[in-house]
A and B are shown apart, each in its own frame.
Chain A
Amino acid sequence: MIKDVIKKIDEVAANDPNRIVYDYLGKTNTYDDLKKRSDVWAHKIESLDIPAKSPIMVWGGQTFEMIASFLGCVKSGHAYIPIASYSNAERLTMIQEVSESKIVLAIDKLPDVDLSGIQVVKPDDVKDGSYQIDQNKFVEGDDNFYIIFTSGTSGKPKGVQISHANLLSFVNWELSDFNLPQHPSFLVQAPYSFDLSVMSLYPALTAAGKLVVLPHDVTQNFVQLFQTMPKLQFNVWVSTPSFAQMCFLDKTFDAKHHPNLTHMLFCGEELPHDEVATLKKKFPDAHIFNTYGPTETTVAVTQVEITDDILKKYDRLPIGRPKKDTKITIDKSKGDKADDGEIIIEGPSVSKGYMNNPEKTQNAFFKQDGDKYQSHRSGDEGFFDGDMLFYRGRIDFQIKFNGYRIELEEINHYLDQNELVRYGVAAPKYNKDHTVKQIVAEIELKDGIKRKYSETVLTKKIRDDLAKNVMPYMIPQRFVYREKLPISQNGKVDIKSVIEEVNK
């Protein structure tokens, strides 16, 4: 059992300084590099005039400097907020407003944004040197380790606070319950702003393993992706099911070309039955795990190895058994079906709540008298068959699309704000695997607009406007213009019936 994530990583560096920790398309760094560079970052951060324990924004991609700066933050007693550099300027501003962070580490070039009152620190400002960092300053216990921002219903993102204690519970579980190889090397495909990346990051660093990076922009381009992928060698595949499906396109995605691959861990969205059947043909000896967990409970809290027996037994795959330190119950007062209910998660990896947002925190978290740990209302609908948990959908309007978590109401909020639009509803369109394959915007225009513009022009205008306020993956693929959208009894658009209509 690991007792302290940061000290454990430093311990690996002390015992095995020349071991490779990071491989970014062939550019490698050792544990000693990580120790030194994170200490330099910590020393720099200590010299800045910012309040103790205040969070630090980190803007960048997936380079070695990113993880060195993350560790620099937590070594100097500050939580970090990872923000992917493909985000728009508005995202950075909104996260700054919610978190009240006074500093951003610009690992990549910042977008054109007004940052008055905010300190910007660049890698060039942080000169190499040799510093001793006081271990008493390290983030520990209930102090925040990282804060990941997710979609929020009112257009304001929610910052999920993950403490050192939360992270420790997760890391110890992953290192004990998945039977991983010694010195595991992990694929890192997800950007660090997405907590799927944590499934690779800290288990690798604390187990003296290696991170093999597949950068986001490479995955956005088939040619680059399929030229790069066969060159990468790792033991542990971590991705969303949709990313692995994309890899099916390439003939070299099999055990012959990836002989070291022994484990596949899936998280972030529903794992289709067909996909596992195909994976078992391509990687007959690999252990394939399905996992489940909201960001609010630190990456994942249930897991199950999808064996041939499980594949035979279930058409829709289970999401697994809860980790030992965690209790999951089903609140049957919620949800539409008789045996289902809302999945409630109680355990040491459950977040203390959303940053500076007591209202949303109170809605989604609780701790009753006598409870040892915080509980989270997941909003996910599910049921138990014996000790095995199954997921069946959402009780609200949150979806997963290509692994990204999206509050549809956030898109609706910005559609409604558009000067051309009276009502806008973003509706998910599902395929037979219960996976969202498309987001459709159903739009009722304001009077007279339809005569003024063609639909092509309208769509371009609305799309461009949305792009300023939401992440690129939240922009609907299709725009459909309706005379009238259905209105429910409370006078608002009836979102449920719009979604039903789209899926007819």
Chain B
Amino acid sequence: MDTKKEVLSILKDLTSEDLSDKMDENIFANGLMDSMASVQMLLNLQDKFNIDVPVSEFDRKEWDTPNKIVAKVDSLRNE
């Protein structure tokens, strides 16, 4: 499974925007995502990649750009 492609597809579903040329854009600062949308994103990522996101240690700063999300998902998949 192509992590980047799937992450972008989940983000597109949530924000209605194609972020493929904005991989380093902060999706919280520009208002595209709020806390409820990030819940949905994490639920979708858990489903899609069968990963376990440690939410009680969730730090938004580690998840605030498409590139960071891809990196996070990859590291969780390899655990």
Q: What is A's interface to B at a CB cutoff of 8 Å?
A: 220, 222-223, 226-227, 242, 245-246, 248-251, 402, 429, 437-438, 440, 456, 459, 463, 475, 477-479
Q: How far is the CB of A208 from chain B (nearest CB, A)?
A: 34
B55 touches A249 (CB 8 A): yes
B10 within 8 A of A: no
**A477 and B31 contacting across the interface, CB-CB below 8 Å:** yes
Docked pose: A463 CA to B34 CA in angstroms: 14
Residue of B at shortest CB range from A502?
A: B16
Contact of A477 with B33 in the complex, beta carbons under 8 Å? yes
- Across the interface, B52 reaches (CB within 8 A) one of A220, A222, A251, A402, namely A251
A222-B55, A245-B43, A249-B53 given; 15 more Cβ-contact pairs under 8 Å: A223-B55, A223-B56, A223-B57, A226-B55, A226-B56, A226-B58, A250-B55, A429-B16, A438-B14, A438-B15, A477-B32, A477-B34, A477-B37, A478-B15, A478-B17
- A456 vs B53: C-alpha distance when bound (angstroms): 31
* Chain A residues, Cβ within 8 Å of B14: 437-438
Interface string of B52-69 (1 = CB under 8 A from A): 110111110000000000
CB-contact partner of A478 in B16, B35, B55, B59, under 8 A: B16
Query: Given A249-B42, A438-B16, A478-B31, A242 and B58 touching (CB < 8 A)?
Result: no
Chain A residues with Cβ below 8 Å from B31 are: 459, 463, 475, 477-479
From residue A399, how far is it (CB to closest CB) to chain B in Å?
Answer: 14
Which chain A residues border B37 with CB–CB below 8 Å? Answer: 437-438, 477
Contact yes or no, A249 B16, CB < 8 A: no
A167 to B16, CA, bound (A): 42
Q: Which residues of B1-53 have CB atoms within 8 Å of chain A's CB atoms?
A: 14-17, 30-37, 39-40, 42-43, 46, 52-53
Cβ-defined partner of A437 (8 Å) among B35, B40, B53, B59:
B40
Selected contact of B56 from candidates A227, A245, A479, CB within 8 Å: A227
**Known contacts A220-B35, A477-B32: A250-B16 contact under CB 8 Å:** no
Cα distance A402–B58 in the bound complex, in angstroms: 21
Minimum CB–CB distance from B26 to chain A (whole Å) comes to 11
Contact B36 A242 (CB under 8 A): yes
CB–CB A222/B56 < 8 A: yes
* A223 vs B61: C-alpha distance when bound (angstroms): 13
For residue B29, give the distance in angstroms from its CB to the closest CB of chain A: 10
- Establish whether residues A250 and B56, one from each chain, have CB atoms under 8 Å apart when the complex forms: yes
- In the assembled complex, the Cα of A249 lies from the Cα of B35 at a distance in Å of 13
Q: How far is the CA of A139 from the CA of B5 in the complex (A)?
A: 61
A242: chain B residues at CB < 8 Å are 36
Is the CB–CB distance between A456 and B30 below 8 Å?
yes
Residue pair B58, A222 in contact (C-beta under 8 Å): yes
Chain B residues near A477 (CB, 8 Å)?
Answer: 15, 31-34, 37
Query: Which among B16, B17, B37, B59 has the highest number of chain A CB atoms within 10 Å?
Result: B16
Residue contacts A-B, CB under 8 angstroms, 16 given: A223-B57, A223-B58, A242-B36, A246-B36, A250-B55, A250-B56, A251-B52, A438-B16, A440-B16, A459-B30, A463-B31, A477-B32, A477-B34, A477-B37, A478-B15, A478-B31
Question: In the complex the two chains form, is B15's CB within 8 Å of A249's CB?
Answer: no
Q: What is the minimal beta-carbon distance from B10 to any residue of chain A, in angstroms?
A: 13
Q: How far is the CA of A249 from the CA of B42 in the complex (A)?
A: 7
Question: Closest chain A residue to B57 by CB distance?
Answer: A223
**Quick check: A245 and B16 within 8 Å, CB to CB?**
no
**In the assembled complex, which residues on chain A have CB atoms less than 8 Å from the CB atom of B40?**
245, 437
The distance in angstroms between the C-alpha atoms of A441 and B15, with both chains bound, is 13
A250 to B46, CA, bound (A): 11
Q: Give the distance to chain A from B49, nearest Cβ to Cβ, in Å.
A: 14
Q: Tell me if B15 and A245 are in contact (CB < 8 A).
A: no
